[in-house]
Amino acid sequence: MAKNTVQGKAFLFLRDKSLFVVAFLISFLMVCALWSFIDPRSTFPKPHSTASDGGVTAAYGCATGFHGANLSQDPPERTFYDDPSLSYSFGSPVRNWDKKRREWLKRHPFFATARDGLVVVTGSQPLPCKNPIGDHLLLRLFKNKVDYCRIHGYEIFYNNAFLHPKMVGVWAKLPPVRAAMVAHPEAEWIWWVDSDAVITDMEFKLPMKKYESYNFIINGWENMIYERKSRFAMNTGIFLIRNCQWSMDFMEAWARMSPLNPDHEKIAKIAIAELTDKEFPGMDEQSALVYLMLTQKNKWGNKVYLENQYSFSGYWLEIVDRLENISDKYAAAEAAEGGLRRRRAEVVSERYGEMWEVFLKGTYDGPGGWRRPFITHFTGCQPCSGHYSPSYTAQACWNGMERALNFADNQVLRNFGFVHVDLMNSSSVLPLGFDSPILHSRLSGEIGARAENPSIQYLCTVLQSARAEDWALERNHVSKARAGVERPSSGDFTHPVYRHQTAARSVRVTPVLSSQPMCLTARFRAYHAKLRLRGVLQFPLLNKSLLLVGAIALLALLVWTLGSSSAQRWLPAAEGGSAVDPLCVTGNENQTTFYDDPNLSYSIEKPIENWDEKRREWLKIHPNLAAGSSRRVLVVTGSQSSPCKNPIGDHLLLRLFKNKVDYCRVHGYDIFYNNALLQPKMGSYWAKIPVVRAAMVAHPEVEWIWWVDSDAVFTDMDFKPPLEERYKNYNLVVGGSPDMIYENPSWLGLNAGVFYIRNCQWSLDFMEEWAKMGPQTPNYEKWGQILTTAIKDKLYPVSDDQTAMVYLLMKERERWGDKVFLEHEYCIQGYWLHLVKTLDNITRNYIGLEKKIERLRRRHAEKVSESYGTVWEPYLEEAGYRKDAGKRPCITHFTGCQQCSGEHNSMYEGDSCWKEMERALNFADNQVLRNYGFMHQDLLDSSPLSLVPYGFPA
C-alpha cells in the first residue's frame, strides 16, 4: 500500500514537473512576444506628431471606416450603375453581381478595405397605425436600433414605403433588402430586423468570423425543417444576408413564391400541403422559406447557417419577466469589477463589450442563464395594427415592449450619465453616480462605491448566487455530456450542453486602472472556500492548471507593467465601422481621463472646468479619434417619453426621425435621439439644453453638436454645413438677425430650434448661463417678468429658451458676441409656411437641369451622394437658383405646428400643418429613395412609389 502511495507521488511529481516545464516555455515565449511590442527599439510604425487643426483636437493618421471616407468623390469611370439593364427590383435579376461589386470597390478603394461592412434595414407601413400607441412604439423601436448602430458603427435604413405594390404585409421586407444591396455595394452584409424586435444587449456584436463561410444567417433548427417540416422552423423576422450573387439568386427564388408570381395561389397550396403545422391559407414569407429549404436543400443549404446558439431572435414571452433579475446580476458583476462600471465615452463602448465577454464566460442568455438576450423579438404582438396572438393580452405586449426598451435604453443612457430606475417608467431618469452600477427602484439605499452600502451588500449576494448557479450548472451538465448522458437533440437549442462548452469558467481580467471591488475580499474568499468544500471547483487537474495559468498571467502582467509607457491597450481591438470607426478606436484605456474624476457631472446644474484641456488630453490618449475630429458632428434631437395626444403625432415624429437618420447616413454623421427628461423640471423647449450638455461629455471625439428640433425637416439632402469654412472661428451658429437682437431686440431675433454648438469650454459656460433662466431655477417666474419687460414683443410672461438666448446675447454681447454667428444669409433653417408652396416648383427646376446635364442624373451608390451635391452647386448658381429662389431649402422648420400635442398656432388652418409636413417629408424622401431606384410621384401621397427608369428624367 505504501509502495503504491510512493509511486503515485512520484508520478504526480513527474506530471507536475512536466507541467511546470511547459508553463516555463510558454511564459518565455510570451515574454518575447510582449517585449517586441514594448521595446523602445521596436520598428513598428508610430503615429506622427500632433498639429493644430483649428479646434481643441490634433491630427493623427488613421484609416477610419465608411464614415471616414472621402464622400465627395466618385470617379468618372463607368460602373454597373451605368448599365441600363440594372434593376433595383425583383423580376429583373442581376447577373455577375460579384464581379460588378468587385469592380466598383476597385474604383472606390477605401470602401474595399473595410471589414464586414453592414447595413441594417428595417421599416413599417407608410400610413399611421391603427393601434393608438402603435406609432409611439415604432418610434421607440426605431430609436433602439439607431442607438445600437451608432455604438457599433453600422448604417441603418428605415423603409416606410411599399417598394412593390404586390409585395406588402409580411412580404414587404424583401424589396428593400434587394434594393439596399444595389444601393450599398460597399456593404458586405444586409441585416433585416423586424420593427417589433428590440436589441436588448447593446454591447453584443455579431460573430462575423463564425459566418465567414455562409451567405444567409437566420434563427432556426435543422430537425424542424427537414424532419418535422414546421413553418416555425425558422424566424424570418431577423436575418443576415451577404451582398453577393448567391444572395441575389436566393432572394429571387424566395420572391417567386410571393404574390408577385401569377401562380402564387397554386404554389401556396402545394407548399401548405408539405408543411405539417400551417394553420391558415395563403403563403407567408416564413412558410415559403421553409418550403424552399425543404425542396432545394442541395442548392441553398450549404450556405445557410441556422443560428440557435444565442438569442438572434429571442422569444419575448420567455425573456421580459427575467429582465430585472438580469439587470441585478449585471449590477452585481459591475459591483465586483471596477473596469465594467468605469465611465467612458460612448464611442469606446464596443471595447468594453469585449471586456464583458471575458466576464460572462460560463453563462448564457437562455432560461436559467443571466446573460442579456441579444434580441427580444415581440413575435405575434403587431404593435401597429394592435392585433396580437390570443395566447397573451395586449397589455402584456405593450408592457413587455416598454420594459425591454427601457432595459436597452439604460445601456445607452449610462454613457450620457443617466438611468431609468424603473423599467416600467419611461419618463423618469436619474443621474448615475460616479463609480456606480445600475440599480433599480426595488434596491434601496444611496448608490455608491462603498461596501457597507445596503444596496451594494445586496449586489454582493446576487453575484455570489449567480456564480454558484453557474458553477453548479456547469458541473452538472458538462459531466453528463462527457459521460454521454442526456445528449440534447439537434433542435434543442436551449439545452445547457450547448451553452457550457468548458468545465471551468474563465478567470476574470481586471484592468490596471479599476476601482476596488465593492464586495469585500474576505467575503469572496469565504464563498470560494464553500464552493471548494462542496466539490464545485474539483475538476481533474483544474487547480494546478489554474495555478499555472495564474503564474503565466502574473509574469505577463509584470512585463506589461514595466513597459506601460508604450504598452498597448488592455482591451482588444473591435471589428466594425462607424462615424468613428471602432476599428480606429485605439489608445491606452488604462490611463486616467476626465471620466475618472468623481466631480465630473453630466447634469446641467454642475459646471465643468478646463473642458478644452480635458478633451485634448482624452484625444491624445485616443490618437486615432483625433484625426478629422474638427469635422466630426453629432446630430441631437428628440421628443417626449409618452405617446402624443395628437392621433397622428407619433407617426409624424417617426417620419421626422427617419428623415434625420437618412440625412446623417448620407453625410456620415452620428445621431442621438433623446426621449427622456434629463432634468425633470426642464421640459418642453428647455429640454434640449440638458441633452446637448450630456452629449458633449459623452462624445469628446465630436467637435460639433448640431441640435435639430423634432419638427424640422431636412429638405436638401445634399446640403452640408460649412463648419470649417464659414464658421471656423465661431462656437455657436444660429439662424438670426443681428439687428433684431442688438438694435431692436425681438424674441423672433433668432430661432433656437436649430443650432450648431462647438464642443468646448466656451459652449459649456454659455449653456450654464442660458439655463439659469430655465424652470429648474428658483427665480424662474422672475425671469419671465424680466424677459417680458426687456423684449417688447414677447407676448407671454414665461421664460422660454428662445427669448432667453436673445436676452443673454443682448445683455452680454462683449462676453459672448464675438463667438456667435447669427446666420441670416446662408441657409440654416427656414419658415415652413413660405417654403412648402415652392417645393413643386423647385422639383421642376432640378428636373430641368438633370434633363440638360447627364452628369447630374447619373445613378450612383448612396455612399457617394455627397460628391454629387458638390457637382450640383455650379449649375444651380449658373441657373440663378439660390436660397429662397429656386434652390432646395436645407431645413424646413414647422415652427408653431406642435405635431405631438396637436395644439398648433391658430393662424394655421385645420390640418394644414400635417399635410405640409407630409409634402416636405416626401420631397426629402425622393432624394433618398432615388438611390434605391424609386420615387414618390405625388408629394401628398406617401403610399405609392414608382420605379425610376434609367436615365430619368431625360
Residue 882 has a pLDDT of 87
**pLDDT for position 746:** 97
Q: Range with the lowest mean pLDDT among 97-106, 107-116, 296-305, 319-328?
A: 107-116
Peptide bond preceding 953 in cis form (omega within 30 of 0): yes
What confidence score (pLDDT) does residue 817 get?
Answer: 97
Residue range(s) occupied by CATH 3.90.550 in the chain: 77-195+205-309
Tell me what pLDDT residue 446 has: 35
Q: Residue 32's pLDDT is what?
A: 52
What pLDDT is recorded for position 366? 83
Residue 355 has a pLDDT of 87
Alpha helices in 296-450 (DSSP H): 297-300, 323-336, 338-341, 349-359, 394-413
In terms of pLDDT, which residue wins out, 441 or 616? 616
State the pLDDT confidence band at 257, using cuts at 50, 70 and 90.
very high
Average pLDDT over residues 223-250: 97
pLDDT the model gives residue 354: 86
pLDDT at 369: 86
The region of weakest confidence among 195-209, 450-464, 544-558, 849-863 is: 450-464
- Alpha-carbon distance 239 to 768, whole Å? 46
CB 471 within 8 A of CB 533: no
pLDDT over 70 percentage in the chain: 76
The mean pLDDT of the chain is 82
Query: Minimal CA–CA distance to 42: which of 28, 51, 32, 29?
Result: 32
Q: What is the pLDDT of residue 556?
A: 55
The full DSSP string for 837-877 is GGHHHHHHHHHHHHHH-HHHH----GGGHHHHHHHHHHHHH
Task: Collect all residues with Cβ–Cβ distance below 8 Å to 952 and sequence separation of at least 6.
Answer: 850, 857
Q: pLDDT class for 463, splitting at 50, 70, 90?
A: low
Which pLDDT band, with edges at 50, 70 and 90, does 568 fall under?
Answer: very low
31 pLDDT band, cuts 50/70/90, is: low
If pLDDT is split at 50, 70 and 90, which confidence band does 302 have?
Answer: very high
User: Of 54 and 430, which is predicted with more confidence?
Assistant: 430
In this prediction, residue 238 carries a pLDDT of: 99
Query: Which of 813, 816, 789 minimizes the C-alpha distance to 803?
Result: 789
What pLDDT does 523 receive?
38
Entry pTM: 0.83
Q: Would you place residue 539 in the very low, low, confident or very high pLDDT band (cuts 50, 70, 90)?
A: very low
Mean pLDDT of the region 201-213? 96
How distant, in Å, are the alpha carbons of 136, 179, 741, 902 from that of 641? 9, 33, 34, 16
Mean pLDDT throughout 224-239? 97
Give the best-scoring range by mean pLDDT among 38-42, 523-527, 554-558, 891-895.
891-895
Does the pLDDT at position 314 exceed 70? Answer: yes
- pLDDT at 29 (0 to 100): 52
Q: What is the pLDDT of residues 758-813, one digit of tens each?
A: 999 999 999 999 999 999 999 999 999 999 999 999 999 999 999 999 999 999 99
Question: Which stretch of 45-59, 229-243, 320-334 has the lowest confidence by average pLDDT?
Answer: 45-59
pLDDT at residue 448 tops 60:
no
- How would DSSP label each residue in 798-823? S--HHHHHHHHHHHTHHHHGGGEEEE
pLDDT tens, 76-110? 899 999 999 999 999 999 999 999 999 999 999 88
User: What integer is the mean pLDDT of 24-52?
Assistant: 41
Q: What is the pLDDT of residue 240?
A: 99
**Packing angle, helices 323-336 and 394-413, rounded to 10:** 20
Look at residue 603 and tell me whether its pLDDT is greater than 90: yes
More confident residue, 469 or 119: 119
77-195+205-309 folds as: Spore Coat Polysaccharide Biosynthesis Protein SpsA; Chain A (3.90.550)
CA dist., res. 900 & res. 652, Å (int):
8
CA–CA distance, 699 with 697 (Å, rounded to integer)? 6
pLDDT of residue 113: 67
Residue 367 predicted with pLDDT over 70: yes
Residues forming a β-bridge with 220: 234
Q: Per residue in 674-721, pLDDT tens?
A: 999 999 999 999 999 999 999 999 999 999 999 999 999 999 999 999
Tell me how far apart the alpha carbons of residues 809 and 755 are, in angstroms, rounded to a whole number. Answer: 15
Over residues 215-242, mean pLDDT:
97
Please say whether the beta carbons of 383 and 376 come within 8 A. Answer: no
- Give the three-class secondary structure for 720: coil
**pLDDT surpassing 80 at residue 558:** no
Whether 534 shows a pLDDT value over 70: the answer reads no
Share of the chain above pLDDT 90, in %: 66
**Per-residue confidence (pLDDT) for residue 930, from 0 to 100:** 97
pLDDT of res. 440:
52
pLDDT for 30: 55
For 626-679, write each residue's pLDDT tens digit: 877 788 999 999 999 999 999 999 999 999 999 999 999 999 999 999 999 999
Mean pLDDT calculated for residue range 747-760: 98
pLDDT, tens digit, 9 for 90 and up, residues 870-880? 899 999 999 99
Q: Provide the pLDDT for residue 282.
A: 86
